[in-house]
Every structure is written in structure tokens, then in C-alpha cells.
Structure 1
Amino acid sequence: MPRSLFPSASPETRQRLEQDATLKLVNEYDWAANPLGPIPAWPQSLKGAVRVMMAASIPMVMLIGPDGILIYNQAYAEFAGNRHPAIFGQPAVEAWPEIAEFNRHKIEMGLRGESLILRDQELVLNRHGRLESGWMNLHYSPVLDETGIPMGTLCIVHETTGRVLMAEERELVSQELSHRIKNIFAVLTGIISLSARSRPEVRAFADELRQRIYALGEAHDFVRPHSHGSNPPDNQDSLRSLIDRLMQPYRQDGQDRIAFHGEDATIDDGAATPLALLFHELATNAAKYGALSTPGGRVSLTGRAGDEYYHLTWKEVGGPPVSGDAELSGFGSRLITLSIEGQLRGRMERIWEPDGLRVEIDLPVDALRRSARLQS
């Protein structure tokens, strides 16, 4: 068995090993007519690497030499579809002409001794009689000879096509659902506006209600599921980012009047709605009675993460003198209490200081990820 990867194997062992059709192909292939030459002439490191690859259950392929000669295992043979076995032992750029430039770059990279990881890489391949997109995670590592010189690259292939297509389908459903929810918000706003026209005495309340619906809509759009291609918001699970989005109406001459400092917190869709209502009401009150009611007023939000609680300080400066009566008697105040204590199981304290209102808020860390907690 001089041409075999296992020249010292007994006939019984060889028969058992060659139940793997691709390993049998390696042993029986006419390597003498190939640029790699016969198996006995291969570097020991290459033979050892091929043995390990053949025993692997995940798709693996080697691109050896300047031509990128393909050697692969049974799992990769199944990945290759009807291109196998014709591409076995062939130069990669000829075996997969539809991605010739892609493979040429990976061959050159391997010969330079470089590694690379590509995630959800889209490749248009002809594996089943037609060109079709596939997505995969690709892990490239150099293959070294006994002197440490790179002689090719080893690629581990994990196909993610099913997951990517499922995510795209989920995104379509999410977009349709989001569109319908936005329509509901728009209809509610329209109903409120029409009702207020004939009832001037409720116009102020109607304006406040529309703003609350707007805050809910912003929270929904911020945390709704996104795919890679749907441009999700930066740091979609970030409390800081949610606050930045909700506070955009309070920017003045391009400058933020509500600044976030300190440690951020991770949130999910289950916590976004009560948090949106909380910060909307705080900002609305500040615009009516507090720091945001004057041109020079500012609000500072400071976050501090603990083991069990996340602490937030809302501090207003530069506004008119404020007492607690105006802010504690309205529906908005009750809504804040419902959001913090009822939905988030937190605590809040208002302190009216000489330079402006300070609000101290403690929120359980697990309440900020309510969806994960409920699912468990």
C-alpha cells in the first residue's frame, strides 16, 4: 500500500477506513499525474494534516500549493453537491470558476502564512446544477511543512444558509408586523386629534397623549428584530442608545440638552416600553416645569451598574425654581410610578434641590432583560 495515507495499515484496517468514500478516493487517486505528486512524496506534515481532516465530521478542504489543489473530506464532498468528485485534486480556481478570484486570494493568503475568519460569507455557487447563493462561516489557517514554510491553507466550512434565510424571512414578518403596529399608532393619533378638535378643553391632554404614543412607537421601532441587511440601530440593546433616540426632540441648535454619563445597561424589548414611558414623562415634565423649560437648562443622566441593581440619576440644572406639587399630582407622575414600580419592580425618589430636580432610580438588572427572564 505505498500510495496510501496509511501504508502500514492491515488489509482489514484499510477496508474499514475506506468505508469513507472520500478517503478511498484519496488512496486511489492518480497523484503521480497531479502537481502534488504521489502520496509517499508528500511532506509528513501534509500527510498528517490530511489524516486528521479525513477523520473530521465537519466540512474541511485544503488548497495546497500555488495552484490550490483541492483535497477534502467526506463532509466537504457532501457540501460540494454534484461538483464532487470531479473537483477533487483540481486547482481551486478551475474547480469553482464562479468564485475563482475569491479562491485565488485565499491561496495567496495561505502561502503567506495568514489566517482569516469570515462569518456569514455569501458565495454564489453551482452545487446543484444552477447558480445559487449560499452563506457560510469560513475559517482559514495555513498548512506548514516540516521547515515551517506555508504550503497551502486549510479551510473549515460551516454552512449558515438555513439560518440566514430564516433570519431574512423573520425580518420580512417583523417588518410587516412593525408596519401594522405603526399604522395602529398613526390611527390612534388621528383619532385623538379628531376628538380634540371638537373638545378644546381636552386639547392639552390630547397633545400629551399623542406624545406618549410617539414614545411608545419609538421604543417599538428601536427594539424590533432586525437582520444584517435591515440596518438595525447601533447598540440596539443599549439603554444609552434608547435614551438618545427618545431625547432627540429636545436637541437645541444641534446640541444635546440631555447628556448620558457613566455606565450603560443592556436592555431588551420587554423593558424598552416602560423605560420609554419613564424617560418620556421625565423629559416632558422637565420641558413644562424644569430645566428644559428654559433655553440654558440641561439634564444630566448618570448610570451606575451594580450586581443586582442598575442605578440612574436624573439631574436637572439651569431651570426655574420647582416644587414637588406640580409634578406629583398628574397622570404622568402615576404613569412613571407604574413603569418603575409596577413593570420594572424598581424604586424611585424625587429630590427637589435648589439648583433643580434630582431623581434617583434603582432598577433590578434582571428586569432590564424581562423577555429573557420570562422565557426562562
Structure 2
Amino acid sequence: MLDATPDCIKLLGADGNLAMMNRTGCIALNVDEHGPFGMPWIPLLPEDIQAAGRAALARAAAGQSARFPGRSETDAGTLFWDNLLTPMIGQDGEVHQILCVSRDVTSQTVLERELEDAVAREHLLAREMHHRIKNLFSLVAGLVFIADRETGGDGSSALALNLHEKLRALSRASDVAFVGAESLPAGQPVDLGNLVRALLAPYGERCEIVEQAATVPPGVVTTLALVFHEYATNSIKYGALGTAGGRVTVRWTESDGVLAFTWIETGAAIEVPDEDRQGFGTQMVERMVRAAGGRISRLWRPEGLIADLYLPIRH
């Protein structure tokens, strides 16, 4: 027997049969630690893991280090392993034995799966919000024409048409925000300037964009779009875009794979809100940013919000 350690350690012959194994390995594979060894190792693995195990074993038998993810069922529940196979080569240049060290990565694996589930739920919620918002835009656009006719117009007054065009622009921005990366070809980077301009187009010249050439991978498009959609919505309700003469400046830089955005509002006259009271939309985008490895900081001033967004981008 090998000395007991937290890792699962196995010594295999070049043919893949077990020569020695520590107590942790015996428990993981449900093998009697006092019994004889010599049995094939691969059949002891769960059926859905065996193909990856055979491929890794073949590479190790050919003289190359190999690894694969594993799983075992014990009385304590399901354990997940990172298996590293290292060939032991003799003076004749042949592989005589293979050392397999399996590190317990259960906590990390469970956390990663919980995070994936959380992100999936956020995306499902975003799709539902998109559907409802599109319906709302259609409803409001219809009400604009009805109201114009009820006040003596024919639905084509300058005010009605102008408002209808702004609603259409908002609808297009909503498409960018909520559909985002799902509609893009796999792996195709997105021009950041085009994305931000599409999101802020409904607000016209009141939004100034200070650009730096950059592209972002499809995986972060939805997150970025939701952030700016939320900022713009809140600015109309509480900040500069809801104040005559108020303006917004957006700028960004990219360095060492981290995108740094700054959203600056000026010309507003607002009551500084309580930071502990955040709306549902703000909480949702903050969770999505954290899930993507980023962070948001905000500074509320009477003349408007300053927000900084830091987001890692990996092409």
C-alpha cells in the first residue's frame, strides 16, 4: 500500500492493471484495501468516465502525461476528481509503470455547476423580460396613434411620428440588450463602439460616446448590453436623461484583458438615493457582472451618477 494522503494515488502497470493504491483510492473505487491487486483499473470507473480514462491511459502508455476528469460514488456522496497520469520510463526508454494521482475537486466542481445554473437562470429571466418589454413597446406605440386620433389628429402628427420612432429605437436597443450573443455566429467578436451606439441611439445627441477601438467576445455582449440598458432606463427615471439639458458621457479603455467603462451624468438635479435600496434591474445586472468576473462601483452626486464597470474579456 502507498502512504495514505488526501489524494487518490494509484500505481498502474503499463497494461493499465492496478499494482498498488492508497487507502483513499480504495475507498473511491470501492476496492478492498487489504485484498490483492492486479485487476484492470478502467472497469472500476463509472461507465461514462471509462472512455476518457482509456484515452488518457493510452497516452500515458505511449510515454505522454495525460489527465481527465473523473467521478466516484461513496457513502459520503458523489466525489469529483482531476486525474493526472504520469508515465514512469525505464533506462530502456520503455514505459514500465504509470503513476495516477487523483486530486479531489468536488468543492470546485459543485461551485462551478451552481454558478452555471445561476447564469442559466439569469439568461432565462432576461429572455422573459425581453418578451414582455417587446410587447410593452408595441402596446405603447399603438396607444400613441390612438391618443393622436382622439385629440383630433390622424395618427401621423409630428409628435406621434417622433415618439413612434423613439419607441422603435428603444425596441432595437432592447434586441441588442436581451438577444445579444445568442444571435451571433459562434466566436465572432463584436465591435464595442457599434454595440454602445446601438444601445444609446434612442437618446440621440444627449449621449456622448468617447471611443477606444475594441472588440468583445459574444459571451459578454448580453452582460454589457443589460448594464447600459439599465443605466439608461434609470437615467430617464431619476437622472440626467430625465432632466432638460442633462447629458451622459460614456468612455472606455481596455488593458491586459480588462475592459474599464465609465458612465458620467451631468446636468441633473436629483436627490442622492439610498445605496441600500436597489431595484430589481440593478440587482440583476450586478449579479450577471459578478458572474462574469467583473465589478461595478457607483458614485451618486446631485448632478447625476458616475458609474465604473470593470469586466474581464476573453476572446
User: Partners of 1:212 and 1:274 in 2: how far apart?
Assistant: 15
Letter in 2 for 1:190: S
* Equivalent residue for 2:63, pick from 97, 113, 135: 113
Aligned to 1:68: 17
**Which residue type is aligned with residue 156 of structure 1?**
S
Q: Which residue, 145, 149, 153 being the options, matches 2:94? A: 149
Report the CA distance shift for 1:77/1:170 in structure 2 as closer, same or farther (over 3 A). Answer: farther
1:176 is aligned, of 114, 120, 124, to 124
Q: Which runs of 5+ in 2 are unaligned?
A: 149-154, 199-210, 232-240, 252-260, 266-288, 299-309, 311-315
User: 1:188 aligns to what?
Assistant: 136
Q: Counterpart of 2:297 in structure 1: which amino acid?
A: L
Per the alignment, do residues 372 and 67 of structure 1 end up closer, same or farther by CA in structure 2, a change over 3 Å counting?
same
**Pairwise mapping of residues 38-57 of structure 1 onto structure 2 (< 5 A)?**
54=3, 56-57=5-6
Q: Does the 8 Å contact 2:73/2:79 carry over to 1?
A: no
User: In the TM superposition, what is the alpha-carbon distance from 1:232 to its structure 2 partner?
Assistant: 10
TM-score, normalised with respect to structure 2: 0.51
Q: Tell whether the 8 Å contact from 2:82 to 2:103 is kept in structure 1 after alignment.
A: yes
The alpha carbon displacement at 1:84 in A equals: 5.6
Where does residue 191 of structure 2 map in the other structure? 240
Query: In the TM superposition, what is the alpha-carbon distance from 1:109 to its structure 2 partner?
Result: 1.4
Which amino acid in the other structure matches residue 177 of structure 2? A
Aligned residues: 227
Tell me how far 1:110 sits from its aligned partner.
1.0
Aligned to 2:85: 140
| CA deviation after TM superposition for structure 1 residue 275, in Å | 5.5
The residue aligned with 1:95 is 44
Closer, same or farther in 2 for the Cα pair 1:182/1:272, shift >3 Å? closer
Instruction: Name the amino acid aligned to 1:184.
Output: R
SS, match of residue 57 in structure 1: coil
Contact map agreement 1:58 1:75 (CA 8 A) in 2: yes
Percentage of identical aligned residues: 12
Tell me how large the CA RMSD over aligned residues is.
Answer: 5.1
- What code does the residue aligned with 2:17 have? G
Aligned to 1:372: 295
Mapping for residues 276-315 of structure 1, pairs under 5 Å: none
Q: Among residues 166, 176, 179, which one is paired with 1:208 in the alignment?
A: 166
Change in 2 beyond 3 A, CA 1:114/1:189:
same
TM-score between both structures, scaled by the size of structure 1: 0.44
More strand by share: 2
Query: What is the CA–CA distance in structure 2 between the aligned matches of 1:69 and 1:97, rounded to whole Å?
Result: 16
Measure how far apart 1:83 and its partner are: 5.0
* Distance in 2 of aligned mates of 1:269 and 1:158: 34
- Contact 2:17/2:38, CA 8 A, preserved across alignment: no
Q: What's the CA shift string for 1:10-68, capped at 9, x where partnerless?
A: xxxxxxxxxxxxxxxx1xxxxxxxxxxxxxxxxxxxxxxx5xxx464333434322133
User: Computing the radius of gyration over CA atoms, which structure comes out larger, 1 or 2?
Assistant: 1
CA distance in 1, matches of 2:12, 2:297: 48
Q: 1:271 to 1:101 in 2, by over 3 A?
A: closer
Where structure 1 has 5 or more consecutive residues not aligned to the other structure, the ranges are 1-25, 27-49, 225-230, 248-259, 279-329, 348-368
Report Cα offsets for 1:162-193 as digits up to 9, x if no partner.
Answer: 13431343244224312332133223212222
CA distance in 2, matches of 1:334, 1:271: 26
What letter corresponds to residue 191 of structure 2 in structure 1? R
Which has the bigger relative contact order, CA under 8 A and spacing at least 6? 2
Alpha-carbon distance between aligned partners in 1 of 2:249 and 2:181, rounded to the nearest angstrom: 17
Residue 133 of structure 1, CA deviation: 8.8
Check the 8 A contact 1:62/1:72 in 2, yes or no: yes
In the superposition, relative to structure 1, how do residues 243 and 64 fare at CA in structure 2: closer, same or farther (>3 Å)? farther
Structure 2 contact 127–179 (Cα < 8 Å) conserved: no
Amino acid at match of 1:71: M
